[in-house]
């Protein structure tokens, strides 16, 4: 009975070591993530919030985060 238990423990140990090695090798050979490149950020001339270039509103040579801030800046002295 002790011999069977010893064999079971050794087999479990071998399985565990192989599993750990397989995970380690898989992580090192994985493809680089295909995440999109970081967005080009601009600063709102009214409040200073940074926003992506694709969401920016431009007017009078300035950049704004919303139409409300563009209008508020136009009326501000």
Higher-confidence residue: 4 or 33?
4
Buried b (16+ CB within 10 A) or exposed e, 33-53: eeeeeeeeebebbbeeeebee
pTM of the predicted model, to two decimals?
A: 0.52
Asked whether the predicted pLDDT for residue 22 surpasses 70, the reply is yes
Q: Domain coordinates of the chain in residue numbers?
A: 1-30, 41-75
The per-residue pLDDT for range 34-75, each reduced to its tens digit, is 778 888 999 999 999 999 999 999 988 999 999 999 999 888
């Amino acid at each position: 009975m002790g011999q069977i238990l010893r064999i079971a423990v050794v087999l479990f140990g071998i399985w565990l070591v192989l599993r750990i090695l397989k995970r380690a090798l898989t992580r090192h050979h994985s493809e680089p993530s295909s995440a999109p490149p970081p967005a080009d950020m601009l600063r709102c001339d009214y409040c200073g919030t940074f926003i992506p270039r694709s969401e920016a509103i431009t007017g009078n040579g300035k950049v704004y985060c919303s139409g409300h801030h563009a209008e508020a800046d136009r009326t501000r002295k």
